[in-house]
Copies of this chain bind each other. A is one copy, B any other.
Amino acid sequence: MGEIGIGIVGGGYMGKAHSVAMAAVGAVFDTALRPRLEMICATSDSSAERYRMAYGFARGTADWRVLVADPQVQAVVIASPQETHRAIAEAAFALGKPVFCEKPLGADLADSRAMVAAARASRCINMVGFNYIRTPASQYARALLAAGEIGQVTWFRGEHTEDFDADPDKPASWRNFGAANGTMGDLAPHMVNAALALIGPIARLNADIATVYTTRPGAEGKQVNDDIGQFMCRFTNGAMGHLSFSRVATGRKMGYQYEVTGTKGAIRFDQEDQNALWLYRADDPPGQRGFRKILTGPEHPDYLPFCQGPGHGTGYQDQIIIEARDFLHAIHTKTPVWPTFDDGMEVNRVIAAAHASHASGTWIDL
Contacts and interface: CB of A to CB of B under 8 A. Distances in A.
Interface of A: 1, 13, 16-17, 19-20, 23-24, 26-28, 30, 34, 53-56, 140, 150, 154-155, 157, 162, 164, 166-168, 206, 208, 210, 212, 228, 230-232, 234, 240, 242, 244, 246, 248-255, 261-266, 271-276, 278-282, 284, 286-295, 297, 299-300, 304, 306-318, 361-363
B13 A306 contact: yes
A122 B167 CA distance: 50
A10 to B, nearest CB: 12
Given A30-B54, A317-B315, A264 B292 contact: no
Contacts of A288: 279, 281, 292, 294
Nearest to A164: B309
Q: Which 6 A-B pairs have the closest CB atoms?
A: A254-B311, A253-B311, A251-B280, A315-B315, A292-B292, A312-B316
Contact of A242 (B230, B254, B278, B295): B230
A319 to B, nearest CB: 9
Given A251-B280, A279-B288, 20 more contacts: A26-B56, A27-B56, A150-B250, A155-B248, A230-B242, A250-B264, A250-B280, A253-B295, A253-B310, A254-B309, A254-B310, A254-B312, A276-B290, A284-B292, A288-B292, A289-B294, A290-B295, A313-B316, A315-B315, A317-B317
B249 A313 contact: no
Contacts of A263: 166, 168, 250
Nearest to A34: B56
**Interface residue SS majority, chain A:** mixed
Contacts of A206: 206, 208, 232, 361
Contacts of A253: 295, 297, 309-311
Given A263-B250, A312-B315, A293 B294 contact: no
A348 to B, nearest CB: 22
Contacts of A254: 295, 309-313
